Structure 1
Amino acid sequence: MWRWSVCPVAVSRGHMPFCSTQQEPHQANPSHTSQVTHSPGNQLTLCSLLEMGFSETQAKEMHEGAMKSRGKHVPSVLTALLLLGLNPSSILKIMQKCPEVYSLKVVRNLSTGSLQRMISRYPEVMLLSVKRVNMVSRLLREKCLFTIHQVTDILRDSSEVLEEDLAKLEYKFQYAYFLMDVRQPEMVKAKLFRLSLSELRCRRCFLERRGLYQTPDKKGQTLKEFHVFCKLMAREQEAEGREDEYSSDEELGEDKDDDDDDGLHRKKRHWNTGYKKDRK
């Protein structure tokens, strides 16, 4: 089961997420101060973004996104992503792909496992509830009979299943398992759950028409078994042909012997008749 928990982030003074405005109060720009004070994203400043490692262009874009989303915990979210090992460019791409991440209300424990690749590819996972994740994982384990390790790989590499309808997800598994004869390890290796059901059907039809794949029948016969069956049938037919030739040769030999015997009997009968006539 997945469990999200609050991750307290310890930040050193050298990497403070906020830019101190008390160093030179007499040089502070009053217009800028009022703008930061009244802005929706007042917990995030350009200076703090620069200290996190963002470039000026990236910092401006991140600051604009935070102001539009009115997120109150943006620094904590960014710090958690940095602790996860993501670089500023990857974090910016995540925010561009899923702006809802700005509005996360709590900082969740994202520093375990292989979530870095998962979040980089599918940042919407940060918005899902624990209940939803548990429902999907329970379906994959109980109804689809995946192991815990296989479920982890599916959720990491094919995170789209977390937002998919459970009935459609189960039907997709049944389609691949029963109609295509694909087993659980092969599904995980091929990342099958990244495809929609229509795309899966289209690929199957394409491979069948190319002759590269054959759907097994109800008896479970595969194309390989069919080729072996054809070879066995050819051998049996060849053996039957040889037996027929051998039996036909024997019949011809018997017919010749019968003809020779008939000729001898006729000659003997003729000789016997002539000998009697001569003696008379």
Structure 2
Amino acid sequence: MGTHVCRKLLVQWMWRWRVCPVAASRGHMPFCTTQEPHHVNPSCTGQVTHSPVAQLTLSSLLEIGFSETQAEEMHEGATKSRGKHVPSVLTALLLLGLNPSSILKVMQKCPEVYSLKGADLKQRINHLRKMGLLEGSLQRMISHYPKIMVLPIKRVNMVSRLLKEKCLFTAQQVTDILRDSPEVLEEDLVQLEYKFQYAYFRMGVRQAEMLKAKVFRMSLSELRCRHCFLERRGLYQTPDKKGQTLIVNPPLNDVLCVSEETYLTQVAMATVEEFHVFRKLMTREQDEEGKEDEYSSDEDEELGEDKEDDDDDDDDGQHRRKHHWNTGYKKDRK
């Protein structure tokens, strides 16, 4: 069903299916099959009497384009969620341009949407539009990752600010990241920043390349594993300050944007067994690194306390160890 047809049916539906007066008097606001206030449908009245929360009726869902099976599933989901604003949420999704089939898939992926308020949903959709997500891209992103509709606007702004200020992506590049990899909105901010650092400094990848290869779709552990596996096999080398290498590195798309099977057969030239053994070794190395960092942090605290107690006049800090990584954020975008 096209967007124009959906909106036309929605207007007809909102005009024809009025709020049941019995429900209104009892504080409930379900959509009923009442066409005029003085012709109350008995079945509607009975349903409202036994309904503790607002909900859509099967007939109203059928009227706007849901099949019988889809209407039953939508009705069941709304009932289980006990959401009080399902009609307004459904209205917002229809006005967004999603057809009934897409709406049902959104609800299946993210049942939390049932519990949203229509006003909150509209506010979040408008905020995404202001960030540059235009029609088409916005609908596809919501269909693929409906959880973005339940995330607070504050969270979206935090991730966007980190990508701009710490990772030096442009505003348009941030929009592209959110469109192609909306999962970053749920990622831990420290891990997200470290993933950028790893791709930028260890792999020598610039912002535009990261976008093209969709780096942020891959987990940090998988990114490190694929990169280090190639590096230790002599198939990948970190570029120097001039961006040069002694070997020709494989295109980043071939490293990250392919299945594990394709990666092993066409890029790494290795067997599945070799890669799985290497993955286990990498996991062990990371665990050991974590323990060393924890020990080093504890030792720094002890040294700091001893320094304050025994040598207050020593200002050069030569005995105080600091675990610091020069991130080089002042480098230009490329």
Q: So what's the TM-score if we normalise by structure 2?
A: 0.58
Q: RMSD of aligned C-alpha atoms?
A: 2.8
Question: After superposition, what is the alpha-carbon deviation per residue over 1:184-238, rounded to whole angstroms, capped at 9, x for unaligned?
Answer: 0111111111111011112213444665533336785413489xxxxxxxxxxxx
Cα 1:219–1:59 change in 2 (3 A) is same
Give the C-alpha shift of residue 135 in structure 1: 0.8
CA contact (8 A) 1:216 1:222 kept: yes
Larger radius of gyration between Structure 1 and Structure 2: 1
Residue 168 in 1 paired to residue 191 in 2? Answer: yes
Q: How does 1:11-90 map to 2 (within 5 A)?
A: 12-16=11-15, 18-21=31-34, 28-29=42-43, 33-90=45-102
Aligned partner of 1:94: which letter? V
Question: After superposition, what is the alpha-carbon deviation per residue over 1:154-188, rounded to whole angstroms, capped at 9, x for unaligned?
Answer: 11111111111111110000000000111101111
Q: Secondary structure at the match of 1:12?
A: helix
Q: So what's the TM-score if we normalise by structure 1?
A: 0.68
Q: Which has the higher helix share?
A: 1
Give the C-alpha shift of residue 117 in structure 1: 1.1
Give the C-alpha shift of residue 68 in structure 1: 0.6
Cα 1:66–1:225 change in 2 (3 A) is closer
> Percent identical across equivalent pairs?
75
Whole-angstrom distance in 2 between the partners of 1:26 and 1:100: 33
Aligned partner of 2:109: which letter? K
Question: After superposition, what is the alpha-carbon deviation per residue over 1:87-140, rounded to whole angstroms, capped at 9, x for unaligned?
Answer: 211111110110000000243333742311111111111111111111111100
- 76-85 vs 14-23, which deviates more? 14-23
Q: How does 1:129-278 map to 2 (within 5 A)?
A: 129-208=152-231, 212-216=235-239, 221-224=244-247
Cα 1:49–1:26 change in 2 (3 A) is closer
> Structure 2: where are the runs of 5+ without partners?
1-9, 18-30, 250-334
Q: How many residues align?
A: 215
> Structure 1: where are the runs of 5+ without partners?
1-10, 227-280
1:92 to 88, 101, 104: 104
Whole-angstrom distance in 2 between the partners of 1:58 and 1:212: 51
Residue 257 (structure 2) aligns with: none
Cα 1:13–1:197 change in 2 (3 A) is same
Residue 254 (structure 1) aligns with: none
Cα 1:45–1:140 change in 2 (3 A) is same
Whole-angstrom distance in 2 between the partners of 1:225 and 1:12: 60
Whole-angstrom distance in 2 between the partners of 1:26 and 1:219: 78
Whole-angstrom distance in 2 between the partners of 1:62 and 1:177: 45
Whole-angstrom distance in 1 between the partners of 2:117 and 2:95: 18
Residue 126 in 1 paired to residue 149 in 2? Answer: yes
Higher relative contact order (Cα pairs below 8 Å, separated by 6+ residues): 1
